[in-house]
Amino acid sequence: MPGIFDRINTILRANINDLLDHAEDPEKMLNQIIRDMESAIADARIQVRDMLAQQKMLEGDVQRATASQNEWARKAELAVSQNRDDLAREALKRKNDYQSQATALQAQLVDQEALVDKLKKDLTALESKYEDAKRNKDSLIARQRAAKAKEQMAATASKISDIPDYSGEFGRFEQKIREQEARASASAELAEARSAADKDFEALEDPAIEDELAALKAKVKPAQG
């Protein structure tokens, strides 16, 4: 009996949130807690049943001892009415024995009732905590995961804050790239201008070539004629 009481009380005193906070695998831990609760509830129900059965037996024993006490008291009165003091003495002796027995059994019954009542209350409390654990399982795990994520984010932010600020170097590097891009653009523009000038010169030279060709033809053709 102490074993089941100790087990139930340990579970009832357990702070599930604290257990999850210190668990490597919160979901695995919570599932184990729920399994422990289910096992403890099953054991407690068996204990309540057995203790209640013992209580019923004690109640029957008290009733029988009390009935025997009353019966021997009646026989003692009958013996006295018949002037049988010897039988009266024997009846009173047996009546007293049953009275003592009934008193002792009644004391045991009171203790047994208190035990059954205590176990019933513990069982009810354990069932209530079990239902809360099942109902809040996903929420508890989510809260624990969120807390862990916040801790990880804080640790990451702390590491980032320790990294040197390279914004100035990046700015200077960007300026160099912009200068290179400007020079490349200017070079391309100059090349295009040079190409256009060459084409203009070629256009200017074309009429002279045509005139020279015409003169050459005039010279050659008469000779051929």
Does residue 155 share a domain with residue 168?
A: no
Largest CA distance in the chain: 194
Say if CB 34 and CB 137 are below 8 A apart: yes
Does residue 68 share a domain with residue 15?
A: yes
Q: Is the pLDDT of residue 156 over 70?
A: yes
C-alpha–C-alpha distance, residues 27 and 88, integer Å: 75
State the total domains in the chain.
2
The full DSSP string for 127-159 is HHHHHHHHHTHHHHHHHHHHHHHHHHHHHHHHH
Q: Is the pLDDT of residue 138 over 70?
A: yes
**Residues counted in the chain:** 225
Say if CB 26 and CB 141 are below 8 A apart: yes
C-alpha–C-alpha distance, residues 140 and 20, integer Å: 8
Q: For residue 51, what are the domain limits?
A: 2-161
C-alpha–C-alpha distance, residues 12 and 126, integer Å: 6
What is the average pLDDT value for the chain, to the nearest integer? Answer: 81
Residue 44 vs residue 68, higher pLDDT: 68
Q: Is the pLDDT of residue 152 over 70?
A: yes
Does residue 149 share a domain with residue 208?
A: no
Say if CB 26 and CB 144 are below 8 A apart: yes
Does residue 144 share a domain with residue 173?
A: no
CA distances from 60 to 54, 98, 164, 167, 168 (A): 10, 14, 86, 91, 94
Say if CB 72 and CB 92 are below 8 A apart: yes
* Per-residue pLDDT tens digits for 193-219: 777 666 666 665 566 667 777 777 787
Does residue 198 share a domain with residue 129?
A: no
Does residue 9 share a domain with residue 86?
A: yes
Which one of 161, 195, 210 terminates a domain? 161
Does residue 116 share a domain with residue 156?
A: yes
Residue (of 109, 123, 130, 114) closest to 5 by Cα position: 123
Reported pTM: 0.54
Does residue 16 share a domain with residue 98?
A: yes
